[in-house]
Structure 1
Amino acid sequence: MDWEILIVIILLIINYPVYKLLYRLFFYDADEFDESVRYSFTPNFISFFRGEYWEDKMSTFKLQMYIFSCIIIIFLEFILFNKIIGYL
Structure 2
Amino acid sequence: MSLELVMIILLLFLNIPVYKFLFRVFFVDNDDYNETVRHTFTPNIISLFRGEYWKDRMNTARLQFFIIICGGIVVLEYIVLIKIIAVFR
TM-score by length of 2: 0.97
Task: Quote the residue 2:23 is aligned against.
Answer: 23
Task: Quote the residue 1:37 is aligned against.
Answer: 37
Task: Quote the residue 1:79 is aligned against.
Answer: 79
What is the number of residues matched between the two proteins? 88
Task: Quote the residue 1:58 is aligned against.
Answer: 58
5+ long unaligned stretches in structure 2? none
Residue 49 (structure 2) pairs with residue 49 (structure 1):
yes
Give the C-alpha shift of residue 2 in structure 1.
Answer: 1.1
SS at match of 1:28: coil
State the AA in 1 paired with 2:85. I
5+ long unaligned stretches in structure 1? none
Percent identity, please. 51
Cα distance in 1 between the residues matched to 2:33 and 2:40: 11
Task: Quote the residue 1:4 is aligned against.
Answer: 4
State the AA in 2 paired with 1:53. Y
TM-score by length of 1: 0.99
Moved over 3 A (4+): none
